[in-house]
Structures are given as C-alpha cells and as structure tokens.
Homo-oligomer: A and B are copies of this chain.
Amino acid sequence: MRTSVPLRHANRILNHGPVVLVTSASGGRDNLMPAAWVMPLDFEPALVAAVIAAGTFTRELVDASGELGLSVPPASFLDAVHAAGQVTGREVDKWARFGLARAPASRIAAPLVDGCLAWLECRVVERSLAERHDLFVCEVLSAWADDRAFHGGEWHFDDPEGRTFHNVVGNRYFLTGEARIVKED
C-alpha cells in the first residue's frame, strides 16, 4: 500500500544510490527518464541534487515547470527502465511503449510511476549550476513508499525482484545486495 513517508526520512529513500525514474510535465505533455545521478543533499528541509542533461525532453519539461517526480523502480522493472533511457519522449510515448502506468502525485503536476517502490515529489529551488553542470537542487515536497518495501524509515527487501538497483554503465547494473548492520559500542 502506498503510504506517506515523513520528509525527514526522504533522504533514506535515495541514500544507497538506486536508479530512479524522473517524471516531468508541462503544457499537457509529460515524460519519464531513468537517472543515476541523483542524491540526497539535506535532511530538513529535505533536499536532493539531480543531474538532468541539457537537450533532453525531461530537461525541457523541468525547466518549464520547475518540478519533477522521482520514482524508485523495482528490479522487475529493469528492462523497461533501461529501455526508457534509450529513446526520447519527444518521439515516443514511453509509458505506452514500455508498459508503465501513471500514478497521481499530490503536490506536483507531473505523474509518478505506478508500481514503483517509493516516490518523491520535488520542486526545483536552485538552478544556478543548471546551465553549466546540469545540476538542480530540489526540495522534496512529499514522499511516499510501498509499505512492503519501505517502512519504519528503512528499506525491507524481502522479494528479490522487489529490490532497488544501481547502474554501472550502459546496460550493466547491480541489484541492491544484502543488508549489513554495524554493531556500535
């Protein structure tokens, strides 16, 4: 079940570096794009840093709207997520092509990606490095998670295909591996 995540825990959704799907919308059009270069930037207010390459349709929509969604996909979505990075939303309806469905967001106009493990709704708050480095600082307005995968402020990967994954390069990925808890004195 999709449940609200306290904003102070939003960083924990991205802290381990999973691939995300960036969603965006403007002027009646929307898009999704996989991204690896997204990380937390602060706790309260919850901020994230995201690299959105110039020239992409996503960049056009984010620049126009000042908003973006981040959906964290499960390993079972890996083929679709990878394929969605090989075409442009200017020419292809990626949702239809790759069998992905929109889920409504609460605070932004862009949709989220249905069936993902967690979601962040974000507003761009700083774009002074956007022209030079494609870097956007975004405030997390709302955070959600599938409570089977993330609850109590932590990930719980019981289903092997319900784990997050990480990109290395091109079509090569790592699934998120086993948990290890360090014993503290």
- Residues of A that sit less than 8 Å from B by CB: 11-12, 15-18, 36-42, 47, 49, 51, 75, 78-79, 82-83, 86, 126, 128-129, 132-135, 137, 153-155, 163, 165-169, 171-184
CB distance from A73 to the nearest CB of B (A): 13
Determine the residue in chain B with the shortest Cβ distance to A49: B49
CB-based contact A168/B184 at 8 Å: no
CB-based contact A133/B42 at 8 Å: yes
Determine the residue in chain B with the shortest Cβ distance to A86: B184
CB-based contact A180/B176 at 8 Å: no
CB-based contact B174/A177 at 8 Å: yes
Task: Chain B residues near A169: list those with CB within 8 A.
Answer: 11-12, 15, 153-154
Q: List 26 A-B contacts (CB under 8 A).
A: A15-B168, A15-B169, A17-B17, A17-B18, A36-B39, A36-B40, A37-B39, A41-B51, A41-B133, A41-B134, A49-B51, A78-B180, A78-B182, A79-B182, A82-B184, A86-B184, A126-B129, A126-B132, A126-B133, A129-B137, A153-B169, A154-B168, A154-B169, A171-B184, A172-B182, A176-B176
Task: Chain B residues near A18: list those with CB within 8 A.
Answer: 17
CB-based contact A155/B182 at 8 Å: no
CB distance from A26 to the nearest CB of B (A): 25
Q: A173-B179, A174-B179 are in contact. List 14 more A-B contacts (CB 8 A).
A: A15-B166, A16-B17, A38-B39, A47-B133, A49-B135, A126-B133, A154-B168, A154-B169, A171-B183, A172-B180, A174-B176, A174-B177, A175-B177, A176-B176
| Interchain CA distance A124-B97 in the complex, whole Å | 42
